[in-house]
Amino acid sequence: MEGNSIGSIIAHAAIGLCDKNGVEIHEGDIISLKDSHCKGFDKERPHLVCYQNGGFSPFSIAHWKDEPKASEVEIIGNKYDNPDMDYCIG
């Protein structure tokens, strides 16, 4: 089981950043980077926010401060409410 279980609810870590709408980003969120100028990301597919190798993929906190900008990232769902959505991992 992922996250911290609280009864039948699973709590997921907020990563300390917000998207372009001011919504706090959590582990398990699916984000759009379509407007990002960041190199190395598939901008046509959404990305899953997950904890990997000591940071939150698809970006690290250090990387976020440069690119992608918060104004370029939008939460479009999460993997729990949208299990059939096609997204990139990592």
Q: Is the dihedral of CA 47, 89, 25, 68 positive or negative?
A: negative
Residues 48/54, Cβ–Cβ less than 8 Å: no
* Structure confidence at residue 1 (pLDDT): 42
* Structure confidence at residue 52 (pLDDT): 78
- Domain residue ranges of the chain, discontinuous segments joined by +: 19-89
In the block, residue with structure tokens 């059939």: 84
> What is the architecture of the domain spanning 19-89?
Roll (2.30)
pTM: 0.72
Neighbour tally for 62: CB within 10 Å: 8
Q: Is the dihedral of CA 4, 59, 76, 83 positive or negative?
A: negative
- pLDDT above 70: residue 35: no
- pLDDT above 60: residue 63: no
